[in-house]
């Protein structure tokens, strides 16, 4: 039985371009990019090409790109650097990713800001919280990782710059799906992961605004211009660069295809009684590749397992940190049903057959599970 993979928001399959770029660096001599011998210079050239490719996708200067192991490390580095140099108070919406909330609670004093029932924070309300006391850092995700709601990033960034407060944008879910222009936005810090957009796992980046110097999280070497110590994962970063380059010319087309696929998924789901959409009801206010559903009268775990048995891989609002199907903190913050969510997400490899597989399976799965309730 062929399977339908509808969990790209968790991780997306490796793009062929990324695999092809990585293969030469997975065998033979892969030298330290910090060495001046021929092998080292070849590695350095490959690493810098990857940096340029990532910068081109994200609208940044190559020197602003710090290559990391992924968004989780980038978030921790941004949070540590800001609190170590600017103070402990951190402001963030209550629906931020667990990496943001937990890093903020560890490195600083976190103040959470409420969101509305679509998961969106009010920019003026957030800035009022910033004004209430000296603030070192504001976190704001470009778009929510669970319900897809886009946040007022530009307004918050502008307000923080006026106040001289650092702002970090978590773009892990948006990169590769929405246009991002880091320099034009004016944010201080921005984090991304390669595997969310068809690159390899274990690669990502922290973008650091030109002229901003923060203490590094990782110590022990001068790699990444002394901003992130440790040997660079050259094969993974080369793959990241290739995935980014593939998206530079295809992002709009992929986003349109994703929005179309999610539209069909949503239509099939909403045809089942007792199913509703979570997040912004307007497609323009959500990520193009993700929909989150509320399913009345059945538990999320049961729906996921039944869909899996039918050959469809999806996700629910469980906590990333625990890998358990706990009530979603995002949905709790939105004030809606937190234990019956289903997240469907598409990507570069999604086919009409994947969408059709869900449309065929979902009504029967829900009907069967509800019938077991008696």
Residues that are catalytic: 320
Evaluate whether 221 touches 229 at the Cβ level (below 8 Å): yes
Axis crossing angle, helix 234-248 with helix 251-270, rounded to the nearest 10 = 80
CA–CA separation, 332 vs 41, rounded Å? 51
Per-residue CA distances from 260 to 44, 200, 308, 345, 352 (Å): 41, 26, 23, 12, 10
Half-sphere exposure of 230 (CA within 13 A, CB side): 13
CA–CA separation, 296 vs 59, rounded Å? 42
How crowded is residue 252: how many other Cβ atoms within 10 Å of its Cβ? 10
Q: Please give the angle made by the CA atoms of 185, 111 and 187, to the nearest 5 degrees.
A: 10
Per-residue CA distances from 105 to 98, 102, 110, 116, 171 (Å): 10, 5, 6, 23, 20
């Amino acid at each position: 039985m062929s399977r339908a993979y509808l969990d790209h928001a968790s991780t997306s399959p490796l793009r062929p371009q990324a695999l092809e770029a990585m293969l030469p660096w997975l065998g033979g001599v892969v030298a330290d990019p910090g060495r001046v011998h021929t092998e080292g210079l070849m590695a350095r050239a490959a690493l810098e090409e990857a940096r340029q490719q990532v910068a081109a996708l994200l609208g940044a200067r190559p020197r602003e790109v710090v290559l990391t192991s992924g968004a989780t490390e980038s978030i921790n580095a941004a949070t540590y650097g800001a609190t170590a140099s600017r103070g402990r108070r951190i402001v963030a919406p209550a629906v931020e990713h667990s990496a943001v909330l937990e890093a903020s609670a560890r490195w600083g004093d976190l103040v959470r800001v409420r969101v509305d029932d679509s998961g969106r924070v009010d920019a003026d309300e957030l800035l009022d919280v910033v004004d209430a006391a000296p603030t070192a850092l504001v976190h704001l995700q470009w778009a929510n990782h669970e319900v897809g709601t886009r946040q007022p990033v530009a307004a918050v960034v502008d307000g923080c710059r006026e106040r001289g407060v650092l702002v970090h944008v978590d773009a892990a879910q948006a990169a590769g799906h929405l246009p991002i222009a880091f320099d034009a936005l004016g944010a201080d810090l921005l984090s991304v992961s390669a595997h969310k957009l068809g690159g390899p796992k274990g690669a990502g980046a922290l973008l650091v605004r030109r002229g901003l110097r923060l203490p590094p999280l990782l110590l022990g070497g001068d790699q990444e211009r002394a901003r992130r110590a440790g040997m660079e994962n050259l094969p993974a970063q080369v793959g990241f660069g290739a995935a980014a380059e593939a998206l530079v010319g295809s992002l709009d087309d992929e986003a349109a295809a994703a929005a179309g696929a999610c539209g069909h998924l949503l239509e099939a789901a909403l045809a089942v009684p007792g199913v509703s959409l979570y997040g912004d009801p307007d497609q323009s206010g959500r990520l193009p590749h993700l929909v989150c559903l509320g399913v009345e009268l059945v538990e999320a775990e049961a729906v996921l397992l039944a869909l899996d048995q039918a050959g469809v891989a999806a996700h629910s609002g469980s906590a990333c940190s625990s890998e358990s199907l706990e009530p979603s903190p995002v949905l709790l913050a939105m004030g809606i049903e937190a234990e019956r969510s289903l997240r469907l997400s598409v990507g570069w490899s999604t086919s009409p057959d994947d969408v059709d597989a869900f449309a065929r399976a979902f009504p029967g799965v829900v009907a069967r599970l509800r019938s077991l309730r008696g």
